[in-house]
Structure 1
């Protein structure tokens, strides 16, 4: 359940939503996407109330949700905007598969690739829509560490070149600091915004940007994670005679 959640995203801004499991992060994303309806209050995109899924928005869930009977290329094609010329569809699909490193797997079905590869195909499907608003629910959670860093770089590049507005739901503090202009912390019972932190470092940001560690410590403190907690001293043992 959400309570007192007021959130504004500026055009072209990347906002990360952080909080414990069950704090309502995914619920906020689903409301913005038009997949759920609020029992009170309203959601606006470009000043217009959201009553159903919005044509300018694309969603990437932690579960890729690909069509199992279609190959990866056909899944990506499913995300193309209505009215895309037939002559350009194949080239557009091929471009986004190449971007996410799946060009060699265009004909593979979701069951024939790893979960991480399926996640990359889901991201390509969303990007193929060239959305004005991109809603991401932990899209990189299933990826190995190196691929995750590459996909973060890709998302950052796409966002900056296309001016997409991004809402990123994540549990990863470092990912939020790497990608977001602003980080919003949700508390739970019931869920509400408890803090907002601007990330002043200019983007693109290096993974080892020296300005980020102090912000990381501040985020962990606000999330209630102790920076250092010594291990308890084990009880003394008597010598065996």
Structure 2
């Protein structure tokens, strides 16, 4: 994935300064920063859900114009169709032209991967928030995306479910080799999952300057990771300091 001179303005307000980024295929990249700094805007540009004011976004060497067929998106809310059961919601993500039998097999496979094979016939109102979000993840993965984009996908979940979903995402990414870009406010989540953490922010007090990448942090630790690893603990202090949460005495 490549971004060249990508910026976004709304009216006279610049949200993103011109950005140049290269994201390696098969890597996991976290976008962190203060609320309103443009993380979700950047993700939408990569997804093809929005258009840059300037610059170009490329996936696999092709310019992104609209939703790219190799891309799937998971939002903060599951956004399931209430009149469809879980299998039907996952099937909604199948690529066009998928044969019925093959599609059914793929849907059941991904429901099994996310641990919901026994709930395929349940409607969304009958399952928990964590199960609904796992369904949304399966709906994205059934597309077999080359690029998986997630906008704070676990923010609304309880702490224990969130940790389990993080481990599931990590396992799935390592199994499929997809390029993953996700927005999060959780520093620990970023360090547990990402190969790179991009910190978005602004220089100085110029509100019209637009956000840029103020720190590109490489997390040089093998995955799956131990949450108690001392190396990531040191990076946590650095990230929190960049985000305006310095270590107390």
Superposition TM-score, scaled by structure 2 size = 0.87
Asked if 1:159 is matched to 2:179, the reply is no
Post-superposition offset of 1:168: 1.0
Does the Cα contact within 8 Å between 1:15 and 1:180 map onto a contact in 2? yes
Aligned mate of 1:218, from 238, 243, 247: 238
Post-superposition offset of 1:221: 0.9
Higher strand share: 2
Distance between the aligned counterparts of 1:27 and 1:51, measured in 2? 16
User: Which residue does the alignment assign to 2:96?
Assistant: 82
Does the Cα contact within 8 Å between 1:6 and 1:193 map onto a contact in 2? no
Q: Structure 1 unaligned runs (5+)? A: 230-241
Distance between the aligned counterparts of 1:172 and 1:120, measured in 2? 19
Aligned mate of 1:17, from 31, 35, 38: 31
Superposition TM-score, scaled by structure 1 size = 0.90
User: Which residue does the alignment assign to 2:132?
Assistant: 118
User: Which residue does the alignment assign to 2:227?
Assistant: 207
Deviates more, 1:105-114 or 1:166-175: 105-114
Q: Structure 2 unaligned runs (5+)? A: 1-14
User: Which residue does the alignment assign to 1:7?
Assistant: 21
Q: Could you give the per-residue CA deviations for residues 147-179 of structure 1, whole angstroms, max 9, x where no partner exists?
A: 222221121111112110000111110010001
Post-superposition offset of 1:8: 1.7
User: Which residue does the alignment assign to 2:5?
Assistant: none
Asked if 1:50 is matched to 2:70, the reply is no
Does the Cα contact within 8 Å between 1:220 and 1:226 map onto a contact in 2? yes
Q: What is the RMSD computed on CA atoms of the aligned residues? A: 1.4
User: Which residue does the alignment assign to 2:107?
Assistant: 93
Higher relative CO (Cα under 8 Å, sequence separation at least 6) belongs to 1
Runs of 4+ in structure 1 off by over 3 angstroms are: none
Post-superposition offset of 1:204: 1.6
Which structure has the larger Rg? 1
